[in-house]
Structure 1
Amino acid sequence: MMRKAILSVLLLLGCIIGWAQDEAAVQDWNEATRSYAAHQYRNAAEHYEAIVKKHEASDVVYYNLGNAYYKNGERGKAVLNYKRALKLNASNKQARENISFIHSKTPGAPVVLKDIFFMRWYHAILYKIPANTWAIAALIGFLLVLFVIYRMITGKIRFGYRWLSLSAIVWLLIISFAFTGYRQGKVNTEAVVLSSQAFLYESGDMTKPRMSVPEGTILNLIGQPKEGKVLVRLANGTEGWIDQADVEIV
């Protein structure tokens, strides 16, 4: 009896906490919307950030946050949040176009190529599922291929080669998702330059500046931090070191 009473109290507390969080998110959203309409972009960004930190954010929240930062003159944070919106929803056309617009207005910024439509579908599926889940699916796919081969050998399956071809194609596609997810999550992490005075240093000499890197530049981290700097690769393939404090991971 006591156990049921405790469980009931815990359930009630959980509902109250959940309701309070939802209510707080609505308040932050309303205040952010009001502030944006009143051209108070810094305040709008702060309330969108509150939603991101305290609640589960959607691509719409990140997109609006990017808009608020752009209107406030913070191009780097704008691009960062547009990229986070795309990470949650690769088909967010407005976020992609806004990144291209910002880069077109930024001297020295790399040109962002538009993805082919099927690549947008590919990334939309990829980002919906964690890399570990894709790895498990790849293992299951491999076992499925072995099962089809076994059924072919024992003569217990019709149109065996067709089923084998289909299962092999599905398995290879899943392997592609698993490998890409692992590579992007572990090896080739995307980041955005937030500083207006960032420099790329020679890959062989971290003390020798090579070029300035505009705020809002998208790059890939390809090495572990060392002496306050991290090895990166730009969109044109140029590699070098950049101050770790000047970039933020997407």
Structure 2
Amino acid sequence: MKKLLSIVFVFVAYFSFAQNDTLFTKANTAYNNAKYQDAINDYLQINKNGVESAELYFNLGNAYYKINKIAPSIYYYQKALKLDPGNQDIKNNLAFANNMTIDAIDANPDSGLSASANKLIGTFTYNTWGIIAIVFIFGFIALFLLYYFTGHHTKKRIFFATGIIALLLCIISVCFGFHEKSEVKSNRQAIIFQKEVAVKAEPNNHSSEAFTLHEGTKVKITSSLNNWRQIELADGKTGWLTQSTIKEF
């Protein structure tokens, strides 16, 4: 019975993969034929089937951009960049989409050292940093074995020194990975999905208006209260929006 269940599971998984692969090809064909809404529908169906990838989100961002829907375009570019932070094509297309937004927000500058460190750590996802750490630890083990079994004194010193470097790089990679994972979990971000929305000073409809935002603007979510979300802009301004006006990525 267990064997039968395993066979059924493998068959279902294979069928699902084949179905998504067919849909992806169909969506790409629709996109290349300028049938952007058809492509979007197929890409969204693939996503609904449980597939997440930088390529899928990138294609969705491109398709939405082609029909001038800036908010979902930026939203999916951001999701793609989250999965593949070093991808220059995603960054370039996101920059084009951001140029079409109305709100011009000047970010508060980070200190030089902080900005450089964050840029370096953000080059890879925390999963990639984990893989890098594993590579270095295997390198350390290999170098330790070479150090232990070699009889040549000069080679022993070289293997020992490079082994220590590999171990240090492994530790650094692990630290970077944990830092990046912590940033991802604590740094909740969202995109404005309404043409224009009034940001409130307090979490209620009778509160005064703090400022106005427009579709496509990226905000950071700092707090939640029922269906209200406290947001912060890159320039430090804060306010409250209803959950329905934004989409978190």
> For the superposition of Structure 1 and Structure 2, which TM-score range results when normalised by the shorter chain?
0.7 to 0.9
Deviations 1:1-21 (A, max 9, x none): xxxxx2332222122112210
Partner of 1:233: 232
Asked if 2 retains the 8 angstrom alpha-carbon contact of 1:201 and 1:241, the reply is: yes
Cα 1:7–1:243 change in 2 (3 A) is same
Cα 1:39–1:118 change in 2 (3 A) is farther
Partner of 2:13: 18
Partner of 1:43: 38
**Deviation at residue 61 of structure 1 after TM alignment:** 0.8
Partner of 1:245: 244
Asked if 1 retains the 8 angstrom alpha-carbon contact of 2:188 and 2:248, the reply is: yes
Partner of 1:190: 189
How many residue pairs end up in the alignment? Answer: 218
Distance 1:34 1:95 in 2: 20
Asked if 2 retains the 8 angstrom alpha-carbon contact of 1:103 and 1:110, the reply is: no
Partner of 1:59: 54
Asked if 1 retains the 8 angstrom alpha-carbon contact of 2:199 and 2:213, the reply is: yes
Partner of 1:78: 73
Distance 2:168 2:27 in 1: 50
| Amino acid aligned to 2:232 | R
Partner of 2:208: 208
Q: Give me the TM-score of the superposition, normalised by structure 1.
A: 0.73
Distance 1:177 1:127 in 2: 4
Cα 1:22–1:209 change in 2 (3 A) is same
Asked if 1 retains the 8 angstrom alpha-carbon contact of 2:220 and 2:231, the reply is: yes
Task: Give the counterpart of 2:23 among 19, 24, 28.
Answer: 28
**Deviation at residue 37 of structure 1 after TM alignment:** 2.2
1:110 to 2:109 alignment: no
Asked if 1 retains the 8 angstrom alpha-carbon contact of 2:36 and 2:67, the reply is: yes
Distance 1:163 1:35 in 2: 52
| Amino acid aligned to 1:35 | A
Asked if 2 retains the 8 angstrom alpha-carbon contact of 1:109 and 1:214, the reply is: no
Distance 2:60 2:51 in 1: 14
Partner of 1:7: 2
| Amino acid aligned to 1:212 | T
Asked if 2 retains the 8 angstrom alpha-carbon contact of 1:100 and 1:111, the reply is: no
Unaligned runs of 5+ in 1: 1-5, 138-157
Distance 2:184 2:60 in 1: 24
Cα 1:99–1:125 change in 2 (3 A) is closer
**Deviation at residue 118 of structure 1 after TM alignment:** 7.4
Unaligned runs of 5+ in 2: 110-114, 135-156
Asked if 2 retains the 8 angstrom alpha-carbon contact of 1:192 and 1:218, the reply is: yes
Distance 2:15 2:201 in 1: 51
Distance 1:121 1:70 in 2: 29
Q: Give me the TM-score of the superposition, normalised by structure 2.
A: 0.73
**Deviation at residue 46 of structure 1 after TM alignment:** 1.3
Deviations 1:42-81 (A, max 9, x none): 2211111111121432211110011111112221111111
| Amino acid aligned to 1:106 | T
Cα RMSD, aligned residues only: 3.5
Asked if 1 retains the 8 angstrom alpha-carbon contact of 2:84 and 2:124, the reply is: no
Q: Identity over aligned residues, as a percent? A: 19
